[in-house]
Amino acid sequence: MEIIPAIDIRGGRCVRLDQGDYNRETVFSDDPIEVARRWQAAGAKRIHVVDLDGARDGKPRNEEVVRKVIANVDIPVQVGGGQRNLSVIGRYVEAGADRVALGTVAVKDPTVLLQALGVFGEKIFVGVDARDGMVATEGWRETSEVRALELLERLSEYGVRRIFYTDIASDGMQKGPNFPAIQEVVEHAAGFRFPMAVIASGGVSSAEHIQRLKLIGVEGAIIGKALYTGTLDIHEALAAAK
């Protein structure tokens, strides 16, 4: 199981939001590149970078910073936030992104998702963000009428082979993941005609949480705030995932 430190970028800085609320921001560093190097030096094998301004605005706002993060580490970087067309996705792939995450567009304009899958294959994965079981979009500011489990089935049929699932209520709160929801997602994703791997995100803040997620069968865990506050040491997290 992979431990994937998150680097959320807003206004060029490394921040964390509580439950995706842009008014509840904590700044952890003015230098996301240094943060990425730190996680690599600590033993992380992959980093998850999100352009929060891009997720909100529907187009990249911190692209140059994200590109510099990719260029300054030797481990795979997966990128999310504001990728709503093939041109933007292509730029990130060309810059060296190992994976590009689609979120809002997967719900609102699946044609773009299908085109992206056709061009970039398994470099495309999808973020499924849920609030009370319903899919949230537009940087979590809107809640759609699409159930998360319903979206999973659509994504499998489209050809998506990997998702990351975030329970918004858990994100940034350091009180533990929504284990029942994650287990339901993993079971659904594994039972489709075309199974999907699941990466868990939101609320992971202890070695015990990681061990429980491993038993559920997730491919990895994206961890943010707990690593930045020191609630969870990255070496402890990596050891728990082995």
What is the structure's pLDDT at 173?
55
Whether 21 sits among the annotated catalytic residues: the reply is no
Q: How far apart are CA 123 and CA 78, in angstroms?
A: 9
Q: Pick 20 or 108 by higher pLDDT.
A: 108
The overall pTM is greater than 0.85: yes
What is the structure's pLDDT at 222?
97
**Which residue, chain included where needed, has tokens 């499998």?**
156
pLDDT in tens, 188-236: 999 999 999 999 999 999 999 999 999 999 999 999 999 999 999 999 9
Contact present, 126 and 103 (Cβ < 8 Å):
yes
Whether 74 sits among the annotated catalytic residues: the reply is no
pLDDT in tens, 130-183: 888 888 876 567 777 789 999 999 999 999 999 999 988 765 556 789 999 999
For the chain, the domains span: 2-241
Selecting among 8, 51, 53, 167, the annotated active-site residue is: 8
Local confidence band at 107 (pLDDT 50, 70, 90 cut-offs): confident
CATH 3.20.20.70 describes domain 2-241: yes
By CB atoms closer than 10 A (0-12, 13-18, 19+), residue 30 is exposed
Out of 11-15, 80-84, 163-167, 171-175, least confident range: 171-175
Selecting among 18, 31, 53, 129, the annotated active-site residue is: 129
- Residues 6 or more apart in contact with residue 201 via CB below 8 angstroms: 6, 48, 164, 165, 166, 171, 221, 222
